[in-house]
């Protein structure tokens, strides 16, 4: 495997850099979008064709929120891996993966990966296996989970720097691709049909 930063840099320019304001992308093997939302405990909000329609619905949801962050709007679409379908979930900003226990349920008996960037540029990558958080990191030097070092070789191969700790968005996209066999592209997001739902984020202070 060779690291190809240019092939994995599309996220920075996608939709005019829209996702740099905050996003979460999650992949879970073998689930339909509807089953994924069910396991998250989401309240269904309908299906929307294309990223533009999904964003419009997300903006409408945000405008109706009184206390922002108590709930998260998520869209899920089906994508093809090397040998099985996966679900790709998108949140604008986001937080379901690390602020709830939803991924424990969603990855029971299967694999999931998620990467996140906040509006203040905090970045997280998480790898789940059979309901267990195996590795999560913000930068190559700050790792946690039940097997925090298991991805180290793969992280180096995709370009994470274990001297400086730098591991950028290109590396997150590449690492997700290596762990899932799913190549997410701008067209994947642009053309997806998104089943949507609202997930409650419990226990946040007002």
Evaluate whether residue 205 is within a structural domain: no
Q: Which domain holds residue 165?
A: 5-197
Evaluate whether residue 54 is within a structural domain: yes
Evaluate whether residue 203 is within a structural domain: no
Evaluate whether residue 184 is within a structural domain: yes
Evaluate whether residue 202 is within a structural domain: no
Encode 47-93 in three state secondary structure.
EEECHHHHHHHHHHHHHHCCCCCCEEEEEEEEEECCCCEEEEEEEEC
3-state secondary structure at position 177? helix
Evaluate whether residue 102 is within a structural domain: yes
| Cβ pair 169, 123 in contact under 8 A | yes
Domain count, the chain: 1
Q: For every one of its 206 residues, what pLDDT tens digit does the chain have, with 9 covering 90 and above?
A: 445 556 899 999 999 999 998 999 999 999 999 999 999 999 999 999 999 999 999 999 988 877 666 899 999 999 998 889 999 999 998 889 999 999 999 999 999 999 999 888 789 999 999 999 999 999 899 999 999 999 999 999 999 999 999 999 999 999 999 999 999 999 999 999 999 999 998 864 43
Evaluate whether residue 81 is within a structural domain: yes
Secondary structure letter of residue 154 according to DSSP: H
The answer to pTM > 0.75 is: yes
């Amino acid at each position: 495997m060779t690291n190809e930063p240019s092939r994995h840099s599309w996220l920075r320019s996608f939709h005019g850099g829209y996702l740099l304001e905050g996003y979460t992308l999650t992949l879970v093997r073998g689930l339909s979008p509807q089953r994924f939302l069910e396991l998250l405990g989401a309240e269904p909000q309908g299906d929307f064709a294309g990223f533009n329609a999904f964003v419009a619905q997300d903006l409408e949801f945000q405008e109706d929120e009184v206390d922002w962050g108590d709930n998260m709007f998520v869209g899920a679409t089906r994508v093809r891996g090397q040998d099985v379908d996966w679900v790709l979930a998108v949140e604008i900003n986001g937080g379901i993966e690390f602020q709830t226990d939803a991924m424990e349920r969603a990855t029971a008996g299967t694999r999931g990966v998620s990467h996140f960037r906040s509006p203040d540029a905090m970045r997280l990558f998480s790898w789940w296996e059979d309901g267990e958080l195996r590795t999560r990191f913000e930068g190559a030097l700050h790792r946690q989970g039940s097997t925090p070092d298991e991805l180290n070789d793969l992280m180096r191969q995709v370009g994470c720097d274990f001297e400086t700790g730098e591991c950028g968005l290109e590396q997150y996209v590449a690492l997700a691709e290596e762990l899932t066999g799913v190549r997410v592209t701008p067209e994947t997001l642009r053309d997806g049909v998104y089943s949507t739902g609202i997930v409650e984020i419990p226990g946040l202070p007002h």
